[in-house]
Each structure stands twice: as C-alpha cells, then as structure tokens.
Amino acid sequence: MLASPPPAPADAAGSRGAATGQLAGKAAVITGAARGIGRACAVAYARAGAELLLTDIGHDLAGVPYPLGNADQLAHTARLCQELAPTAAVVTAEADVRDLDAVREVVDGALDRFGRIDILLNNAGIAAPSGKTVQDITPSEWELMLDVDVSGAWRMIRAAGSAMAAQRAGSIINVSSTAGLVGYRHFAGYVTAKHALIGLTKSAALDFAPFGVRVNALCPGSVRDDGAAEGRMLSEIARSLEVPVAEHEETFVAAQPMNRLIEPEDVAGAALWLGSDGSRQVTGSTVTVDGGFTSR
C-alpha cells in the first residue's frame, strides 16, 4: 500500500531551497530509500523536481546482523522530500526486493500514481553477512547476499522494464560499489554480488538500448555514515573487518587518494546526472564516485 507523508509546513520549501527543475516532469522509484545513500538521492531528486515513490524493507532481516531501514526512517525521508517539493507527489511503500509480488506492487503503484516511471534507482542492498573467508561462508549467507544485492535489482528491472520500453524512455541506475570492480578480503559474497550487478547492468543496457532505455551502474567508494542521512554501511563494514568503530573513518581515509571519505551527497550528485537528460547518451557505463580509489 502506498502512503504519503504529512503536508509540509508552508515555509518549508523556502527554508530548504526551491526545486531546480532538472528532473521536472519525471517520476522516479528509489529502493533502499529509508536512509544513507538512498535518502540522499531521494532528497536530490526532490530538489530537482521529480515525483517520487520511495521504498524500503521497513524491518530487520534474519541473517543480517545490523538494523535495516525502518518505517519511521522511510517516512522521514519522504517528509524531507515533500518539504523540498511541496507540490510534487511523494509516496512510500514498504517492500522486500526478494519478493517478486511485492516488487510488482511497487511498480504497479508507481504507474497508477504517476502514469509512467522515468527513473529506477536500485539502491537496496546489504553489506553483511560478511567478514569471513570464502570457505567459511554458509550457503544461507551466500544466497541471502546474492538474493538482495543482485537478484533484488533484477526483480525491479524485470517489473519496471516493460513500462519503460513501452514509453521508449527511461533511466535505470544500479548502485554497485567499488567492490564491484576490485576484490576485498573476507567479503566474497558482497564482492560477487556487486560484480554481478555490473554484469547485469551491461547486459540490460544492450537489451533495452533499442527502446531508448538506459542502464548504468554507480560505484561509490567509502561513504561516510552521515548522521543526517542515518547511514551505517561503513561502520558495518568496519565491524565485519574488526576495525574499532572509533577508528574506522581514519582507517578508510588512509586508503583514499583524495584523503577524505565520500559524502552521500557526492553519490546523489552522480545519480542525479544519470537520471537526467544530460546523460541521455550514457548507457552500459560504470560511474565511480570513489575519490580515485580504483584508479590505483
């Protein structure tokens, strides 16, 4: 069921800044929108004038050793977006990307509400269970990682693809990772899923190219767990690597050529470009936002 946030205060748009219009007239579906990169992208899209369907699982998941985005966080993301774009439609839906029927309901809800889907941002994903050598990963841990991080994106593409092909336009953005480009010790499941997501991106780009639908992968590096976005991915990766929480930012910065962590807004800026007409000839590409990490 779709839900809308409470009306924004009358002066909210003025206090937050008016929409730029870069995505005016476009409708976007964002998964994993409750917090972190998903929230930052949603806010950027709202500021640019898009109408939004924001979805997240809304509850914790057995096998994932940290809390997932919850209903209150998803509603907060929607309120932030509505404040930025008081006249635009912003709706939410709780859905598990492992469930094809739930995914179809999200897509059908977006089509019923907006009449079209111009942007699909596949951001939902998990970083753990991780922290084990490849031979110690259990079958259930392996299957869970792949089911959420790559098959979840495939389900969303499968559900939205026909509508995008029929309208002869659309942009699909799959949020992968630098783990989709290089290997990391003790993260074989995550690395495999993110590599697979890039492979899915390239093949889907070729399948959809005749219909004017673009498919690209976005690969963030070490993204800071910004308090406003309520992100916790980097700290969870640090926990899996047994890096002390108090030291984890310094540890990750040491591996960054630009000597700073990526901000959620940096990733959102790239997602905004990939969703806009400014990237209309970009498809099958892998865009890194990693401060040069994968250049070495």
pLDDT tens-digit profile of 152-197?
999 999 999 999 999 999 999 999 999 999 999 999 999 999 999 9
> What pLDDT, on a 0 to 100 scale, did the predictor assign at position 214?
98
Q: What is the CA radius of gyration of the chain?
A: 18
CA neighbours closer than 13 Å in the CB half-sphere of residue 156: 36
Annotated active-site residue in 45, 66, 184, 190: 190
Quick count: other Cβ atoms within 10 Å of Cβ 278?
A: 11
pTM: 0.90
**Which residues of the chain are under the pLDDT cut of 50?**
8-19
Amino acid letter, residue 195: H
pLDDT at 233: 72
* CA gap 97, 155 in Å, rounded: 7
Q: What angle do CA 166, 171, 175 make, to 5 degrees?
A: 135
Give me 69's structure tokens: 């985005």
- Amino acid letter at 264? P
Q: How far apart are CA 70 and CA 64, in angstroms?
A: 14
190 is an active site residue: yes
Q: Tell me the CB-side half-sphere exposure of residue 104, using CA atoms within 13 A.
A: 3
